Amino acid sequence: GESVGLHLPTLSVQEGDNSIINCAYSNSASDYFIWYKQESGKGPQFIIDIRSNMDKRQGQRVTVLLNKTVKHLSLQIAATQPGDSAVYFCAENSGGYQKVTFGIGTKLQVIP
């Protein structure tokens, strides 16, 4: 069936470097995507979202890029900090209302 998946299960990054987390989606009808961060022992936390009529959106230290041609999106974190260590999920809101399909997740480890 349709799913949202991630390329890399674990990503290790030096503190201060930029991080890039990738996500491939298979539902070509998807038109709204969200990135979440989940720290140990906590529920997911919204980071940034993007609609399919955009190809880039920036937040505070984060940027999401969407390539509809190859059904790929990425999350870029600038100047990665130890507090960024967490599991990151891309997600798709495929239908009306809050029916969100999540990817498996990528664990980001920041090396001090």
Partner 1 sequence: KAGVTQTPRYLIKTRGQQVTLSCSPISGHRSVSWYQQTPGQGLQFLFEYFSETQRNKGNFPGRFSGRQFSNSRSEMNVSTLELGDSALYLCASSSTGARGNEQFFGPGTRLTVL
Q: Binding residues for partner 1, per CB under 8 A? A: 32, 41-46, 49, 51, 89, 91, 93, 95-105
Nearest residue (CB) to partner 1, 28 versus 98? 98
In the complex with partner 1, the residue whose CB is nearer, 9 or 16, is 9
Distance CA 12, CA 107 (A): 8
Contact of 78 with 102, CB cutoff 8 Å: no
Q: Which is nearer to partner 1, 51 or 56 (CB)?
A: 51
The CB-of-46 to partner 1 minimum distance in angstroms stands at 5
Tokens representing 19 are 């991080």
- How far, in whole angstroms, is CA 100 from its chain's centroid? 13
